[in-house]
Structure formats: structure tokens, C-alpha cells
Structure 1
Amino acid sequence: MDGTSLRERKKQRTREALIDAAFELFNTKGFEATTVDEIADAVEVSSRTFFRYFGSKEDVATSLQLQQFLDVYTALEARPAEEPVLTALRRACVEVLRTYEDGETDATQFACVMQLVQDSPAVMARSLEMCTEQLDELSRRVATRMGVDPVRDPRPKLVASVASAALQVAVRAWRETEPDEKVSDLADRAFALLEAGINYPAAR
């Protein structure tokens, strides 16, 4: 293994250690009470090293959500080529959410993220910002699936936007009115409504 690979693996281990330490502190002390210095100290690195990996505490808190986007992209690519784009996106998103909820990855961190989004305005704001940041990438991948140019064709960005909105509606429903439901089930419901069409009739 060459030196570059060793360095990359070491960097990845440090990043994962910072995430693990941060979530342990978030769970025990709470997000607001946890400092960057405490996260860095737990991994025995400097705060300067922390900021090589993350721009803020909020970035650490939403790092799992960023990974979920990457997992959705992978799951979307694996969907059958003939599957309609919104159906493929629905199934990819729900599959990834259920994977996290069922503990195939770190279910404790996933639950902590959901709680932080519910409790912390700062984390909620960063979460929404991240969703916005990922729209272009999601649009590009939808366009690839559709075989169209995302610059000239507005449909991929529209699909990406409504998919992002569906996920936000699901999280908000879980946070405000249906905390006993799984986010994956609420997301599946929101996507189902989109698939059925939203051109609802006006009130008589």
C-alpha cells in the first residue's frame, strides 16, 4: 500500500473518530453544551485539526445526513433502468432510511441526528442548508437517469426539489405531530402522494 493510501486511511479514521466522539458528547451533554475543544480532546487532537475536517459543530451533527445523501445516490444508481424516476428515487430514499433505522449502520447516531434536528434550531438550519446544497447533485443524477441535459431541461431539478421537500415534510411530521412513526414510513407516504399526483381539485 502506498503512502497516499495510508494517509487517506488515517484521515478517514480521524474523521470517523471525531464523529463518534461528537455524538457521544451530544448524547451525554447535549448539543449546545458540547464544545469543539471537547470533541477534539476526546480524540486527542487539536481544535485546529478538528477544523480541517469540519467547519462547525453543526457540520459534525449533520455529517450522517450527508452520508445518507451519498448512500441515496448509490441506491438510485442500483435501481432498475426502466423504473420511473420518482419511483426509483422514492425507493432509494426509503431503502437508505430504513437501513439506518434498522441498525445496519449506527442506529444510535441516526436517532441522535433526528433528535438534534428536533431540538436544535442551529442543527435544523444546517440540515435544511445541506438539503439545498445537494439539490444540484441530485438534479444531475436524476438527469442522467432520464437521459436529459439538466441545464436545458427543468424536470430533473423539479424532481430533486420535490423529493427534497417530501423528505422535509416527513421529518417535520415526525418532529411535530407523529413522533411515534418511523421517518422512513413518513417519507414513503410523502413520496406516494407525489407519485399519485398533487394537482388536487379546488374546494367547491
Structure 2
Amino acid sequence: MNELLAGASKVGYHPGMEATTAVQACTPTAGRRERKKQRTREALVDSAFQLFAEKGFEATTVEEIADAVDVSSRTFFRYFASKEDVLHTFQEEQFAAMQEAFTARPADEPVITAIRHAAVDVIRACEDGAFGFDPERFGCIKQLMESSPTVFGSSLEHGQKKHAEMTRLVAERMGVDPTTDLRPHVVATAVNSVFHTAFELLSSGTVKADRFSEVLSELLALAEEGINYPAAVPADR
């Protein structure tokens, strides 16, 4: 910083110098401030998931989450709109990873095939704690979705909000305009339904599987084959 100021004094004053040097002077402070905010946000997420696991979602209050980090409820609401919003942070990370994995699939790979590979790989990473995912948080969300109608409904709503982005990605892979070609919308809706069907089958014990990724992979494989199944009654009857 001293060298920058010394250089400026050699060439003389010019309009805007104060603004430039002020920005330069504030940059380290701004960086520390952002890091502190990020640490606070992460601490609130850690606190929330720990309390959700111990007490359940409904029994946990925003005040308790904030107290565990030694901040006020007002501070909590600077980072999150609600308790549900904390859970959505993990889902956002999942979706971002799936989006990246889907985009990276071979360009000539059919849409559902690409989605199956991308989604199953990311879910397995969540289950195994790979690529920075926390398997305990993933397990906590799964448990909360089974035990809390509020969490399940919120997850459904959050998934539906991703419909437009999923439609856009599918349309790009297909090379079509989603305003005139409705197939990307059908794919996005179908994939969202597959995710929730997989969860319901696993949580109800309808299928014999230990992991969400196993059920999801099987259902997406069925979607790959097509769902226009033949009727039980032959056409000649």
C-alpha cells in the first residue's frame, strides 16, 4: 500500500485519487468482514443441524440456533429467512453440484441418461461424504423429511422452484427452445417426481434398499426405458 501511495505522489494528484486509495485501503478490511460473515453463517448452519438432529425440526427454535453461536435472533435473520431456509442451503449445494455434473456429461448423451449419471453420482457423494459433502447433514435431512410434514412440504416446494433452471439445462442439451418445445418441461417435472417417489419408496420400506442413491438410480433407469407401457389387454380384444 505504501508503494502505491508513493507512486501516486510521484505522478501528482489526479481526480478520483482519494476514491481509488480509499477503496484500496478498505479492501483488506472488507475481506476480513466477509470472512467473518461466512464463519458466522457456517456456524449457524452447524448449530441448526445439530439441534435438528437432537430435538427435531419443530421443537428447535431460531433463538436456540442463534444462542448456540452466541448471536442474536436478529443476526440469524440476516442470513436466513427461516429455519427451512437453513435446510435449503444443503439442497442448493446438491443442485449446484448436479447442475455442474449434468453439464459435464458427454454432449451426445440422451437427457435422462445424463441426469441419471449426474444425480446418482452427487447423491452417492452426499451419502459417502465425498467432494466436501457432509453425510451427517444429508442423513439429518432425510430423517427430518420422514418425520416432519413441514420439512417434507418445504422440500417439495423448493424442488419445484428449480423447475425453470432444470428446464433450461435440458433444453440446452436438446438444442431446443423451451418456449416452443414442451419436452424439456416434461423432463424437469418427471425428474422432480422421480426424486420424491424414490424418497417415499425408501422411507416407507416399499423397496428393499439401504441407500437413496440405489432407489433413485433404479427409478431413473426405468424413466430411461420410457413409461408408455403396454396395456394388460391385447389390442385385438
2:186 alignment counterpart: 158
The CA distance in 2 between the partners of 1:48 and 1:78, in whole Å, is 41
Residue from 102, 108, 113 that aligns with 2:128:
102
CA offset at residue 11 of structure 1? 2.9
Q: For residues 83 and 173 of structure 1, do their structure 2 counterparts lie closer, same or farther at Cα, with a shift above 3 Å needed?
A: same
Equivalent residue runs for 1:158-197 within 5 Å? 158-177=186-205, 178=207, 180-197=209-226
The CA distance in 2 between the partners of 1:190 and 1:13, in whole Å, is 39
The CA distance in 2 between the partners of 1:33 and 1:168, in whole Å, is 25
Cα RMSD after superposing both structures? 1.6
Equivalent residue runs for 1:84-163 within 5 Å? 84-104=110-130, 105-163=133-191
Residue from 79, 83, 94 that aligns with 1:68:
94
CA offset at residue 61 of structure 1? 2.5
2:20 alignment counterpart: none
Which moved further from structure 2: 188-197 or 50-59?
50-59
2:10 alignment counterpart: none
Per-residue displacement from partner, 1:71-97 (whole Å, max 9, x unpaired)?
111111111111111111111000000
Contact 2:209/2:215 (8 A) holds in 1: no
Opposite residue 213 of structure 2, the aligned amino acid is S
Q: For residues 166 and 26 of structure 1, do their structure 2 counterparts lie closer, same or farther at Cα, with a shift above 3 Å needed?
A: same
2:76 alignment counterpart: 50
Equivalent residue runs for 1:22-61 within 5 Å? 22-61=48-87
The CA distance in 2 between the partners of 1:12 and 1:199, in whole Å, is 49
TM-score by length of 2: 0.81
Whose relative contact order is higher, 1 or 2, with alpha carbons under 8 Å and at least 6 apart?
1
Of structures 1 and 2, the larger Rg is shown by 2
Q: For residues 4 and 144 of structure 1, do their structure 2 counterparts lie closer, same or farther at Cα, with a shift above 3 Å needed?
A: farther
TM-score by length of 1: 0.93
Contact 1:15/1:53 (8 A) holds in 2: yes
2:231 alignment counterpart: 202
- Share of identical aligned residues, percent? 51
The CA distance in 2 between the partners of 1:120 and 1:111, in whole Å, is 14
Opposite residue 31 of structure 1, the aligned amino acid is F
The CA distance in 2 between the partners of 1:66 and 1:18, in whole Å, is 16
The CA distance in 2 between the partners of 1:121 and 1:169, in whole Å, is 16
Q: Give the total of aligned pairs.
A: 204
Per-residue displacement from partner, 1:38-60 (whole Å, max 9, x unpaired)?
10111122211211222211221
Contact 2:98/2:122 (8 A) holds in 1: yes
Opposite residue 19 of structure 1, the aligned amino acid is V
The CA distance in 1 between the partners of 2:150 and 2:187, in whole Å, is 27
The CA distance in 2 between the partners of 1:140 and 1:8, in whole Å, is 32
Contact 1:139/1:157 (8 A) holds in 2: yes
Gaps of 5+ in 2: 1-26
